Amino acid sequence: MDGVLSALADPARWRLVSLLAERPRSVGVLAELAQARQPQTTKHLQTLERAGIVISQRTGQRRIYALQATPLRDLAAALSRLADTVDQPGGARTAFDRHGLSLEAERLAAAAPGWADGRSFGFHRSLAGDPELVWRHLTETTLLTQWWTPDDLRVSELVFEPHPGGRIVLEYRDIEDTAGTDQVAGRGEGTVDEAQPGERLSYRLSPTLPDGTIAFTSQVDFDLRRTDAGTDLDVLYRITDSTVDSADFIAGIELGFGQSLDKLVATLQNTDIRSKK
């Protein structure tokens, strides 16, 4: 496939392929139609032949080239599979486009400091497992790292002290940036305000801008309620101290925090399934 792509990448060779799609032609005729010199045309045809895109045969003093359909169909099928992956409903591209719309709207709204103060986001999730198990996933660092990031990101640094006045540090990077060579995707520091095991968790967390200053402060409240099926979780996410430069962060809250909670749902579901085996 790499050879086919490399051979077709040159506009002059693509022109020859287009001409050969109509019918087999000789080198001289191809050079004339492509308005190119014959030696150059011969080199291009040899490249296409090595890639399996064309075949040739000598007839008298002329060499006739013909196009091979199979490599083109294989390439078309590969490109179609890529396009289908991109267009998968609810896939990564859908989230990318949704985030793009949110970015545009929030950047327009961020006209002055305090522009987003008072904004809030509410989330509800029904979770497998009792409130005590859910509490552990909300407060223990080894369990928090399994879910406390949006999709395609990983926790690269985490401190969480689950008691009033406890310190919080959260840093995350791209999930494929295992060496830590890319830029940090996000970092925040905060403090736990309230911690009632199995019932309620409240904390403040302030994402930081690249220069280390605070983008905004979030007040996040988790309320847990035992149900017959496990635990209902309600989260209220409120914004204060918003700066003009916080627009990109705030644009990602609804999608990103929602993805994190969905990962929490999946993590607890898998834990519940394993415990019943």
What's this model's pTM, rounded to 2 decimal places? 0.80
Output the CA–CA distances (angstroms, integers) from residue 251 to 20, 115, 152, in the order listed.
51, 13, 17
The per-residue pLDDT string of the chain (277 residues; one tens digit each, 9 = 90 and over) reads 888 999 999 999 999 999 999 999 999 999 999 999 999 999 999 999 999 999 999 988 889 999 999 999 999 999 999 999 998 887 888 888 999 999 999 999 999 999 999 999 999 999 999 999 999 999 999 999 999 999 999 999 999 999 999 999 999 999 999 888 999 999 999 999 999 999 999 999 999 998 999 999 999 999 999 999 999 999 999 999 999 999 999 999 999 999 999 999 999 998 866 666 5
| Cα–Cα distance measured from residue 272 to residue 128, given in angstroms and rounded to the nearest whole number | 6
SS3 for 73-84 is: HHHHHHHHHHHH
What is the rounded radius of gyration, in angstroms, for the C-alpha atoms of the chain? Answer: 29
Q: Among 1.10.240.10, 3.30.1330.30, 1.10.1270.20, 1.10.10.10, what is the CATH number of 2-86?
A: 1.10.10.10
Query: Where are the domain boundaries for CATH 1.10.10.10 in the chain?
Result: 2-86
| Cα–Cα distance measured from residue 208 to residue 206, given in angstroms and rounded to the nearest whole number | 6
Q: Among 3.30.530.20, 3.40.50.150, 2.60.120.260, 3.30.1660.40, what is the CATH number of 113-276?
A: 3.30.530.20
106: its two tokens: 């929030």
